[in-house]
Structure formats: structure tokens, C-alpha cells
């Protein structure tokens, strides 16, 4: 079992301004163009190395990379950046650090990625964004497997779950292999959305693994117990790859504040989840990032 955290290292960002999220507003991008985008992207890639090295030093074997390494990436091809060769070399170094130290890297593209959408332009934009993630993973030299997962939600029902999931499966076929081989899908935190039970329909059709989110399951159980939903999700993973689960706790509960949305994530966690004897890697989605998991690192 490995514990991981997502995207931002607070220890490094606060003390040394190390970050992989340098960006700019659209007006700046329009004025300065891809040269400046490449400049920021290169700095982000350099700092990714520093974060990975920190993770290794602190015995953290699981990390979700930011989806914002390349500012305004949907507006250009990464290969066209003036700094492309430097970026390519830097990401290769980062990937080698991860592989040498068995540091699992994953990504979680944002909620605007909607393969179930009936709107062709939304699907087109989704494919573009997922393709960018796949390209970054290729530059890192990561495996073409859900060990290095690119994880998304369905992000919409549009009146009929089955029809929406059929669109997901249809649009999945349009994705490049760099995405197809890594794609996973996650259960939701609203009762009207997708439970693990619902997502089995997608798994049965196209075989992609399901990422079980403990916190989300509390709000969208599909009439399954936590243990049963976990087991069902685990059953969708290849036998030679350790499944990933997501874990967080309620900010409302931690702060004893009913005005806070119960789905909101707390800063820290009070315990690790019940794994029911299974071997999984746990992505802890707490606001305190690496600080929330350091007490649990053996």
C-alpha cells in the first residue's frame, strides 16, 4: 500500500515557491503567446522534479501530477513550444526519478472533461484535453496502463444514465492509445450521479477500471455497502496492477459546521480507510496535501 497526495506540495510551495501550477490569464496568453506559455511550462516541469525528489526523500510513493503544467495547453501543440526540447528532456528526467524509485504518478483531469456529453464540441474538447494528458505521460515515459491512471468522472446524466454511458463508451473509442490504456472512471458524490454499481455498465462494455472513492460513496452508494462497492471496483482492475482508491473526510464533520457542504474535503484526515484486507494505493484528497499523510508514512 502506498499513500499519495494531489498536485501541490505545501511544504515546498510555501518555503521555496516551488510549484507546477504557474499560469496566466487569457489576455496575457494572447499578448505573450506560446513562447511565454513554454517558459512557464518549463519552470513547472523543473519544479516537478523537485517535488518528486522531495516525495522520494520523505518515502511517499504515490503522487498525482497537476493538470496545469502547460498553461492554456488546448490552444497549441506542446511540440510547437520553443522550449519543447528542454521540456522533453526535463520530463524524461522526472519520469526516470519516478520509475527508479517506484513512485506512482497519476492524473485527474478536471470536471469539464465529459465523454457522456451529447454536445459534440464538449466531447471534442474533452478528447483534446485527455490527449494532452496522455502526451505528458508519454513524455514522462510512464506505463501504458492504469498503473499510471488518467482518471475522470462521467460528469453528467442528461436525463438517462444508460444512454449517457453508451456515449462514454462510444467516445472512448475516439481516444488515442496514450489515453485509452490509462483511463479510469470514478464514482460520484451526488445520489443522482454514478455509483460504482452504475459504472460497472461501462466496465462491462469497454473494460476500463473503476476508482473507488470512499467519501463519494457515502452520498451515492447504489445500494451497496462500502465493502461491496470497494470489492466491485477492485474486481475491475488488471490482476497485475494495484488498484487505486480515493479517500477524504468531511470538512463539515471535522469543523462541526452544518453550513459547510458535507461533500467538501477536510484539511486533514483522522484515520485511514478500512481496506477490508485488500492491497490498494490510497490517494488522500485532503486540503493539507502532503501534510495530511506524513503522520501515516511508516
How many C-beta neighbours within 10 Å does residue 292 have?
Answer: 22
pLDDT 10s digits, 94-127: 999 999 999 999 999 999 999 999 999 999 999 9
- pLDDT recorded at residue 259: 73
Spatial CA neighbour of 211 closest among 192, 229, 227, 193: 229
- pLDDT recorded at residue 272: 96
Q: Is the Cβ–Cβ distance between 182 and 144 less than 8 Å?
A: yes
How many C-beta neighbours within 10 Å does residue 55 have?
Answer: 22
**Using N-to-C axis directions, what is the helix angle for 196-206 and 226-234, rounded to 10°?**
10
Q: Which CATH number fits the domain 3-296, given the four candidates 3.20.20.150, 3.40.50.1100, 3.40.50.720, 3.40.50.300?
A: 3.20.20.150
- pLDDT recorded at residue 263: 82
Averaged pLDDT score across all residues of the chain: 95
Q: Which long-range contacts (CB under 8 A, 24 or more apart) does 275-278 make?
A: 275/1, 275/230, 276/227, 276/230, 276/231, 278/230, 278/231, 278/234, 278/243
Asked if pLDDT for residue 46 goes beyond 90, the answer is yes
Q: Is the Cβ–Cβ distance between 144 and 177 less than 8 Å?
A: yes
Q: Is 166 helix (H, G, I), strand (E, B) or coil?
A: helix
Record the pTM.
0.95
- pLDDT recorded at residue 261: 80
Asked if pLDDT for residue 28 goes beyond 80, the answer is yes
Phi, psi at 71, each rounded to 5°: -60, 135
Torsion of CA 119, 120, 122, 126, to 10 degrees: 140
pLDDT 10s digits, 249-275: 988 767 777 777 878 888 899 999 999
Amino acid at each position: 500500500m502506498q499513500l499519495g497526495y494531489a498536485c501541490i506540495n505545501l511544504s515546498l510551495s510555501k518555503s521555496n515557491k516551488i510549484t507546477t501550477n504557474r499560469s496566466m490569464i487569457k489576455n496575457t496568453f494572447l499578448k505573450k503567446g506560446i513562447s511565454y506559455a513554454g517558459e512557464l511550462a518549463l519552470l513547472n516541469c523543473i519544479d516537478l522534479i523537485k517535488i518528486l525528489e522531495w516525495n522520494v526523500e520523505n518515502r511517499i510513493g504515490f503522487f498525482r501530477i497537476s493538470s496545469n503544467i502547460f498553461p492554456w495547453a488546448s490552444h497549441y501543440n506542446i511540440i510547437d513550444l520553443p522550449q519543447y526540447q528542454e521540456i522533453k528532456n526535463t520530463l524524461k528526467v522526472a519520469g526516470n526519478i519516478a520509475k527508479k524509485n517506484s513512485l506512482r504518478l497519476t492524473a485527474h483531469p478536471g470536471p469539464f472533461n465529459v465523454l457522456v456529453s451529447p454536445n459534440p464540441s464538449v466531447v471534442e474538447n474533452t478528447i483534446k484535453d485527455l490527449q494532452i494528458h496522455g502526451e505528458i505521460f508519454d513524455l514522462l515515459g510512464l506505463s501504458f496502463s492504469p498503473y499510471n491512471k488518467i482518471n475522470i468522472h462521467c460528469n453528467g446524466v442528461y436525463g438517462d444514465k444508460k444512454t449517457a454511458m453508451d456515449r462514454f463508451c462510444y467516445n472512448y473509442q475516439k481516444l488515442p492509445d496514450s489515453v485509452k490504456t490509462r483511463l479510469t472512471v470514478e464514482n460520484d458524490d451526488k445520489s443522482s450521479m454514478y455509483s460504482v454499481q452504475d459504472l460497472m455498465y461501462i466496465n462491462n462494455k469497454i473494460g476500463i477500471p473503476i476508482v473507488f472513492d470512499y467519501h463519494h460513496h457515502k452520498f451515492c452508494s447504489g445500494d451497496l455497502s462500502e465493502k461491496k462497492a470497494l470489492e466491485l471496483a477492485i474486481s475491475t482492475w488488471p490482476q497485475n496492477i494495484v488498484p487505486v482508491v480515493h479517500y477524504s473526510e468531511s470538512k463539515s464533520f471535522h469543523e462541526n459546521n452544518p453550513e459547510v457542504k458535507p461533500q467538501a474535503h477536510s484539511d486533514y484526515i483522522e484515520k485511514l480507510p478500512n481496506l477490508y484486507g485488500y492491497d490498494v494505493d490510497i490517494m488522500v484528497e485532503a486540503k493539507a496535501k502532503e501534510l495530511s499523510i506524513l503522520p501515516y508514512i511508516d
